[in-house]
Chain A
Amino acid sequence: MAAAGSVRAALQVAEVLETVVSCCLGPEGRQVLCTKPTGEVLLSRDGGRLLKALHLEHPIARMMVACVSSHIRKTGDGAKTFIIFLCHLLRELHAITDKEKDSFFSENIQTHGRHWKNCCQWKFISQALLTFQTQILDYVMDHYLSKHFLSIFSSSTKERPLCRSSLEMLLGAYFCGRVGRNNHNFVSQLMCDYFFKCTACESGFEEVLELVDDCFVELKVGVTGLPVSDSRIIAGLVLPRDFSVYCPADGDIRIVIVTETIQPLFSTFGSEFILNSEAQFRTSQFWITERTKAIMKYLQKQNVKLLLSTVKQPDLVIYCAGLNGISVVECLSSEELSLIQRVTGLAPFVLPQASSQYELSNTAMVKFCKPFILRSKRYVHLGLISTCSFTPHCIVLCGPVQGLVEQHEDALHGAFKMLRQLFKDLDLNYMTQASDQNCTSNPLIYKNSRESNDLPEIVNGSIQRPYQDTVVKNKDELAKTQTYLKAYSNLVVPSVELETNILCSTPTVTLTSVTYQTDATLRCFSPDKARVMDDHEPFIDSNSANSTAENTRREISYENLQVTKNARKGSILPVRYKSLEMCTYQSYCFSSVPAGCVLPVGGNFEILLHYYLLSYAKKCRQSEETMVSMIIANALLGVPKILYKSKKGNYSFPQIYIRALHALQTNQPMISNQTGLESVAGKYQLLTSVLQCLTNILTIDLVINIKRQPQEIYDQDSEEEL
């Protein structure tokens, strides 16, 4: 059976998922209880986990869940926001199609034909979304949003000292959405303490985060049956097993790691040992015993007090270790081994071939090694001396039930992932303002000035050549205008840049194109001015009342759509693509969101981006861009709407929205009533992931349902070889 992959279907799926995840969103969110097939119960507010636990059947839903989990794996945050945002985007798109049906598809087109036509249309939209994601989003982030960013570092010097209170706010906000509401303060405090205890020096926290994220499973100990408040941080490393032999020792203790049995065996893999006489057997056994003893003696002479082994050692080794005062811990997992190796830089001990007397090189020191009892279960507690910037500490997580402990573990692990992302620079690249301007203005010019497509091409060629010569110069100019742009309000920018363009080009361009260019500039100026005038009117409208603002917005989008339609028809389209090609000579702008950028929590990012996207949409003349920007801007509001759902009066969403818009228009700082911060990089990545997911959904035209047992996929290459 095949079903049409439509926005309608996707929207229905997304809406169902939205109802599930929105109940756990934000500080007011509640818990969800999941049962595993084994009968265990698990508490969760983690969107990714919930979506997986649902075991959805619907193909589109499964695709969404796959997108969410790949996003989560990377960033550790934002699964719920992902679904909500996606749902709102689909809702906006759906609303648009409904309208279009009224206006464009009222003619008698066959339903099937309509379906295909729809699909084509979705393809265009998805392409527009991609362009948005790759170009406009980065541009808006860099030019407008960046001035609102706060930093988690207390000063912007090279050492970048971490500000404890901002980190606390950041983690507080993160755990608000991830763990039960009576525990989030405690857990975030615990995490903060842990982070600062593990970070030995100010600068090495990236390394610490990386290590903790990679080895988190080994660094936590879960204990059930105790109240959550008994959770604590312990210095050193706790291994979930008992000593095979424990010999108390004081002071610094020397340790070695072995990865094979110390006692030699009769035969190794792939070899054969032939026993010819009983005497031979006796001597070989005697040799084995003596050899084992010799090795243990050697270790003792080298003052080794602790032996960590990845394999089970025979009784003889354990006995000899006890006699020589060496404690033994057996059966270390490979993860534990790699953690110890990363912390101490210790390589496994290679058994000496002969009873040599050379100095043992592969040893490390520990401050202490002692048994550690937690809830009448014994653990090995090692005080590793670190050679990297990570000071080993363990988190003991307590909770009345396993499900709660697991929730806290997941949340902590996610928080480390989130911090790791936060401390990375986020690269933004987009085409510069000037090139954008050219792209958008050119087609209009061509349309107005000429009927045929042949001529502009020639003109393009002629313009292109001189431009290539002055590329370097042009770049410098652009850099200047860039700084200029940051300093002053954006109203002045377009005219200035256009002027520079003309200045660069005029001397070398032929006469005809000069006239053409001047013509173009004139034409360019007038719409610009008109747009500047336009910009103010809707703002005043939105000030007056929320409802009217929404009305105007809807009208605008409607108009834009018609423009899109017009643009797609006729011969203008190829021209525009050509001009785009022409424009690419102008360099891409590489910028970045610096590491540690944060914004206050509570939909601040969404409202800011909403505002700037709207104003961008009003400025840009390209109808597709406008439409996409509008859709995304409106969908962004979905998250703060849910966050403030239960709030009343002054803290209700419309009130907050209007206040924020007002603050932005009058260039006042936005006042947030909530204490808490969130990572800008995380939000940005979320937005791009959602857009990618949406493009995927839109490009699907048919879902084919196969009723057959899933087959194993054979390796094609191996068959060919046969």
Chain B
Amino acid sequence: MWAVTGAQMTASALVSLRNVGKIFPSGLVALADYDLDVRQGEILTLLGPSGCGKSTVLRLISGLSSPTAGSIDWSAPQIKNNIGFVFQDATLLPWASVFNNVFLPLRLSGLSRETASARVDEALAHVGLLDFSRSLPRELSGGMRMRCAIARALVTHPALIMMDEPFAALDEVTRFKLNDDLLTLKRRLSATIVFVTHSVFEAAYLSTRIIVMSRRAGRIIDEIEIDPAIARDDDYRSSKTFAEACRRASHALRVSIEEATR
């Protein structure tokens, strides 16, 4: 069931980070000699304390930031140009309807409303927001806004989706519901997901692989693999596998925090 591996190059890697470093203009070293393979079809979770570089990794992969050292290699260049991103806040255009928010990536790629309409409706249907397509973001609950952000990330049919603590601001019930919805979407769409969270439980529930990062320049402390074949449901939350994943991730997090305060 368990397989702990180092960061090795794998044949099915969608994107590989090699010796990647990121130093901000202020001199802060966010990442140093960082290696990571994102494998085709997995839900990879980056877990770690605040400031460990999790979000930086997502920004580097998605091209929102450039590494100051090392390389980022793609298995296919077209993947790089079509990445979905769900930010910590829903990051919706407050003046635009749900439909127009989801339509935005297609509009920016030059598609007309008529051509894109079916794809927008499909993405909204995936997240259960089809009946709210004319609503403005402020008319939605926090969970619905996040669904809208997910629909926007899905609408371009990306092979890779980045999710930067998307459910952190939501209550526990909504969070559980969205976790399940995300897994359903994942099964339906077969995209690869890189997920960032502070929550050990969320990481253990969603992931097929968890990487625990240290606050010291993103050093990888542990890599935990969870069998993707195991069904993720209420039974899984009370299973030994889930408990063991949580125990191990918690231990690695403790090591990470102790390392940082030493």
Do these two chains interact?
A: no
Q: Which residues of B approach A to under 8 Å, CB–CB?
A: none
Q: Which residues of A approach B to under 8 Å, CB–CB?
A: none
